[in-house]
Structure 1
Amino acid sequence: MTHSIRPGEIMLDAQGNRIHIHGGSILTADGRYYWYGEDKSQSTPASGRWHSGVRAYRSADLLTWHDLGTIIPAEPDAPDSPLHPEAMMDRPHIIRHPTTGNFVCWMKVMHADGKQRSWVYQAERFEGPYRLVRPGFEPLGMSAGDFDLVVDPETGRGYYFFERVHSELICADLTEDLTDVTGTFSSHFPHPHPPFVREAPTYFRHDGRHYLITSGTSWYFPNRSEIAVADDYHGPWTVLGDPHRNDTTGTSFHSQISSVLTLRNGRHIALADRWLPDMPDDVIRRSWEATEAQFTGGTPDPEIDAFVQAGAPDTSSARHVWLEVRFEDGRPVIDWQDAWNPEVEDR
């Protein structure tokens, strides 16, 4: 039995099997935690599989995880489906409708035409079966990349934070059924091109204020995170800087945050992926300049370019980095911890 979270180490389920889900989130329901994400168990360069569907686990304590299997299976016999194993489906997010109790799953898919579209599924039970309710579309006519979903606990209104690809971050209001956007939106953090464009938006709330953690845009290479605060979902947002205050590598402890879970005791856990566990930090640091050079006509980095041109890395080897988001003097910070227990107060 696992007695603590150990960031960066291989995570095993209750049966001793490696947990492969990534780009994930944790949903709480009926007193249990449900962790779900992209099944990367077979996503090696040789396999050609981008994903094996959406997999999920259940836990009572965030330490012992029981495998629920695939809740949204891959569709190997449907070449045009976003769930085909070779389709570039990323970052599924599931929210629960506060009135109907339905589970609504959004996912982004990178299509062959270069556009990134949103696909929406729905189920009456978390474990499924999920049915497609809104096929691939561009919300607000925009190519939508990494995203997060929020349901306000008081009003029941839904919000969709997404990266308008290579441009800015958008906050859009969701329709009452949480399956589409209404047309009301706001734009934030505009940048001319990667790696400065903010992606992987991750929302959480603390003491009534709204927080967003984002990363820069440098492919699978990790970079410095930014955290911003606002008094409303639509801002204005004030950037507070990188919360990883003791990370001298500038790589967010060699990871990218995909979601933040707020516990019953008020503590916050940042769930992150270490996509390139074997990549040296000195190579990763060069990736920022290499990405900037790609969009500004600068001098390319042959080693970085060769790695990117080779295609998706072996994401089946990716690891998890779970760390606490603490507040000190009103500011959020993420410090490294070799081992910690989320249910035990250690402050």
Structure 2
Amino acid sequence: MNKSFKPGQPWLDTDGNRIQAHGGSVIYIDGIYYWYGENKEKTDGENGIWHWGVKCYSSKDLYNWKDEGIIISPEVDDETSSLHPSACMDRPHIIYNQRTKKYVCWLKIMNGFNEQTETVLTADNILGPYTKVKEGLRPLGMSAGDFDLAVAPDGKAYYYFERVHSETICADLTDDYTDVTGYYSTHFPRVQPPYVREATAHFYRKGKHYLLTSGTTGYLPNPSEVAIADTWHGPYTVQGNPHIDDTSKTSFHSQISSVLKVEGKKDLYIACADRWLPNEMHREYDTYAEMFDLIYQGRENEFDFSRMGETPVQNTSIADYVWLPIRFEGERAYIDWHDEWSLDDFE
């Protein structure tokens, strides 16, 4: 039995298997936490399998997780499906619609470097079965990348996403949460990767809206950024990198996927992150930031790619998790490293 969090160490479920809930989130329902995400158990980086559906786990203490199985299955017989194992399906997010009594799941589908769409599914139960209601959705006519979904106390829902590869968008969702209304705001315009913000994670604390984002470097980690606003649509003020003691500029070699407010705790928020490439922690952010800069300037011939070492096989089946508490000084948010920590450390 686990009695604490050990960031960056292999995290096993109650059956003794690696937890496969990457790029995911945690939702709290009737006294039980459900952690869901990309199932990478078959993704060895060589067999062409990007995902094996969406998996879900349940827990009452956040330390020990029971495998509840695959809640959105891969569609292995349809190579044109966004759920085919070779399709680049990322970052499932599920929210509950109190009005329709439906769980609504959005999936990001990468169809190419600059073309990304969404698949939307609904279910009557968090564990499914889920039914596709939209596929190939281009919200607001945009190529939509990494995202988060959030629901306000009044039931209105919002969709924060990376407009590939330029800026962050906050868009209002329709009443059934399966599309956007057309109303949106724009934030954090950046010239190009790796500076464009992605992996947006929203949370609300003491009247303030927070957005945690990463830079755009694929599975290679980079500095995070936190921004704060008074309203859902901002304007957002950038506070900077919350990992102030991270000299590697890699967010402790991880990428935040979501933020969890712990039930029963006065002010405990957990930044839930993936360590996608645990065997590549020797790589330096400044080196591949330079590489990206030259590539986007059309000067890639000036970069010595041998500095990157061998191209990593992206075996994300062995990706780990880095869950860390968020520390607040007034309104400012910080994330410190802990080799081990417990919920008991907090009120």
Q: Tell me the TM-score normalized by structure 2.
A: 0.95
In the TM superposition, what is the alpha-carbon distance from 1:296 to its structure 2 partner? 1.5
In the other structure, the counterpart of 1:95 is 95
Cα separation, partners in 2 of 1:301 and 1:92, compared to 1, 3 Å:
farther
Q: CA separation in 1, counterparts of 2:322 and 2:174?
A: 33
| Contact 2:55–2:71 (CA under 8 A) maintained in structure 1 | yes
Number of aligned positions between the proteins: 343
Q: CA separation in 1, counterparts of 2:132 and 2:329?
A: 44
| Contact 2:283–2:308 (CA under 8 A) maintained in structure 1 | no
| Contact 2:109–2:116 (CA under 8 A) maintained in structure 1 | yes
- CA deviations over 1:54-87 (Å, ceiling 9, x no partner): 0000000101100001000111101111110000
Please list, as runs of the form range in 1=range in 2, the aligned pairs for 1:172-211 lying within 5 A after superposition.
172-211=171-210
In the other structure, the counterpart of 2:331 is 330
| Contact 2:193–2:216 (CA under 8 A) maintained in structure 1 | yes
In the other structure, the counterpart of 1:135 is 135
Q: CA separation in 1, counterparts of 2:320 and 2:269?
A: 20
Q: CA separation in 2, counterparts of 1:233 and 1:90?
A: 24
In the other structure, the counterpart of 1:159 is 158
One-letter code aligned to 2:256: I
One-letter code aligned to 2:221: P
Q: Structure 1 residue 238 and structure 2 residue 258: aligned?
A: no
| Contact 1:150–1:203 (CA under 8 A) maintained in structure 2 | yes
| Contact 1:254–1:281 (CA under 8 A) maintained in structure 2 | no
- CA deviations over 1:149-186 (Å, ceiling 9, x no partner): 00002x11000000000110000000000000000000
In the other structure, the counterpart of 1:320 is 321
In the other structure, the counterpart of 1:303 is 306
One-letter code aligned to 2:152: D
Secondary structure of 2:342 counterpart? coil
Cα separation, partners in 2 of 1:305 and 1:80, compared to 1, 3 Å:
farther
Q: CA separation in 1, counterparts of 2:237 and 2:114?
A: 32
Runs of 4+ in 1 over 6 A off after TM superposition: none
- CA deviations over 1:22-80 (Å, ceiling 9, x no partner): 00100111111000000000101222100000000000010110000100011110111
| Contact 2:253–2:281 (CA under 8 A) maintained in structure 1 | no
Q: CA separation in 2, counterparts of 1:113 and 1:200?
A: 16
Cα separation, partners in 2 of 1:247 and 1:133, compared to 1, 3 Å:
same
Cα separation, partners in 2 of 1:127 and 1:346, compared to 1, 3 Å:
closer
Q: CA separation in 2, counterparts of 1:91 and 1:313?
A: 17
| Contact 2:81–2:87 (CA under 8 A) maintained in structure 1 | yes
Q: Which moved more, 1:4-13 or 1:328-337?
A: 328-337
In the TM superposition, what is the alpha-carbon distance from 1:346 to its structure 2 partner? 4.2
In the other structure, the counterpart of 1:294 is 295
Cα separation, partners in 2 of 1:114 and 1:197, compared to 1, 3 Å:
closer
In the other structure, the counterpart of 1:84 is 84
Q: CA separation in 1, counterparts of 2:284 and 2:334?
A: 26
Secondary structure of 2:61 counterpart? coil
Secondary structure of 1:294 counterpart? helix
- CA deviations over 1:211-237 (Å, ceiling 9, x no partner): 000111111110100000000111100
In the other structure, the counterpart of 2:107 is 107
One-letter code aligned to 1:87: A
In the TM superposition, what is the alpha-carbon distance from 1:297 to its structure 2 partner? 2.9
One-letter code aligned to 1:255: S
Q: CA separation in 2, counterparts of 1:329 and 1:44?
A: 44
| Contact 2:248–2:285 (CA under 8 A) maintained in structure 1 | no
| Contact 1:251–1:285 (CA under 8 A) maintained in structure 2 | no
In the other structure, the counterpart of 1:259 is 258
In the TM superposition, what is the alpha-carbon distance from 1:101 to its structure 2 partner? 2.5
In the TM superposition, what is the alpha-carbon distance from 1:323 to its structure 2 partner? 0.3
In the TM superposition, what is the alpha-carbon distance from 1:89 to its structure 2 partner? 0.3
In the other structure, the counterpart of 1:229 is 228
| Contact 1:6–1:340 (CA under 8 A) maintained in structure 2 | yes
Q: CA separation in 1, counterparts of 2:76 and 2:23?
A: 21
- CA deviations over 1:132-153 (Å, ceiling 9, x no partner): 1112111000000000000002
In the other structure, the counterpart of 1:58 is 58
Q: Which moved more, 1:15-24 or 1:316-325?
A: 15-24
Q: CA separation in 1, counterparts of 2:287 and 2:164?
A: 22
| Contact 2:287–2:308 (CA under 8 A) maintained in structure 1 | no
In the TM superposition, what is the alpha-carbon distance from 1:328 to its structure 2 partner? 1.7
Q: Tell me the TM-score normalized by structure 1.
A: 0.95
Cα separation, partners in 2 of 1:301 and 1:164, compared to 1, 3 Å:
farther
One-letter code aligned to 1:320: Y
In the TM superposition, what is the alpha-carbon distance from 1:287 to its structure 2 partner? 1.3
Identical positions, percent: 51
One-letter code aligned to 1:180: D
Unaligned runs of 5+ in 2: none
| Contact 2:114–2:165 (CA under 8 A) maintained in structure 1 | no
